[in-house]
Amino acid sequence: MKCMMVSRIDDEKAIEYTGKLGDALCRGGIDVEFETATAHGLHREGSTLSKARPDMAVIVGGDGTILRTVQAMDRQVPVIGINWGEVGFLADLEPEEAEGVLTTISDGFLVEPRMRLSFFVGDSHIGDALNEVLIVTSRPAKMLRFGVIIDGILSERFRADGLLVSTPTGSTAYAMSAGGPIIDPRIEGALLVPLAPYMLSSRPHFISGDRPLEIRLESAKPASLVIDGQKSMDLGCEAAIRVKKSTTPALFVDVGRNFFAKVDQKLRRL
């Protein structure tokens, strides 16, 4: 098995741990390479994910590191996260158990696809999100006006500080903090969560991934769009944002951790 090691690069202890874990896996017969930025921190030779073409990416960090790694892939490969952050909803392993689990699954493992959402402005594909897209005003303390079109029908129009369009995987991230529900990641759909809506009747919506969905920004205030906290763009005051189920889901190594047991465990840490 060929394994790519990726570490958060703002933490020297995380980089050091990643180097030691990679060496241990290599001694166990696993073909190990280090991602370029991680290798630089270890003063070693490295490679990019697209060039290395690993069977698995082992990511040491928080959810942000995992999201950044998935965003960087030109071809999705299975990932497994080792929690080196605050909560780490996307990470299945803790540092003290990682070597044993990775050695055990080196002869083969199951993969769990996680739906991503593709976003388009006009005819341009602007990116895919594993967690969510955030649409917020570029001017603090100003509200935006949104229209939600489902199956070609205007289903709702509301004013709010912003709007989250989340995947089920992202339902335990920003969307949960904004009052959205926790959704089983095996269900495919788009969760819409208004941020501080003007009317209390503007509630979260969960929409099937098979339905045509469009978000219209209808505001006198400029807005920005942020994908997974990694990539941002200016929308201006008016834009039509089409949302579709991505044809390339993210792939997570399945180590047999029950999603709801993990959520219960993680939430008890907050």
Model confidence at 50: pLDDT above 90: no
pLDDT of residue 269: 65
pLDDT, tens only, 96-124: 999 999 999 988 999 999 999 999 998 89
Across the chain, the runs of DSSP E, i.e. the strands, are: 2-7, 31-34, 56-61, 79-83, 110-114, 117-121, 124-129, 132-137, 144-150, 153-160, 162-166, 189-195, 205-208, 213-227, 231-245, 250-254
Same domain, 103 and 137: no
Going by pLDDT thresholds of 50, 70 and 90, the confidence category of residue 180 is very high
Same domain, 170 and 257: no
Same domain, 135 and 170: yes
Per the structure, the count of domains in the chain is 2
Model confidence at 198: pLDDT above 70: yes
Q: Give SS3 for 75.
A: coil
Q: How far is CA 68 from the centre of its chain?
A: 8
Going by pLDDT thresholds of 50, 70 and 90, the confidence category of residue 87 is confident
pLDDT of residue 112: 96
DSSP single-letter state for residue 93: B
pLDDT, tens only, 228-247: 999 999 999 999 999 999 99
Mean pLDDT, to the nearest integer, of 37-45?
96
Query: Please, what is the average pLDDT of the chain?
Result: 94
Same domain, 150 and 236: yes
Same domain, 123 and 109: no
CATH number at residue 110: 3.40.50.10330
Same domain, 109 and 130: no
Same domain, 128 and 232: yes
Q: Catalytic amino acids?
A: 63
Same domain, 240 and 122: yes
pLDDT of residue 99: 96
Mean pLDDT, to the nearest integer, of 21-38?
96
Closest CA to 102 of 34, 185, 7, 26: 26
pTM for the predicted model, two decimal places: 0.93
Range of the domain at 65: 2-114+249-267
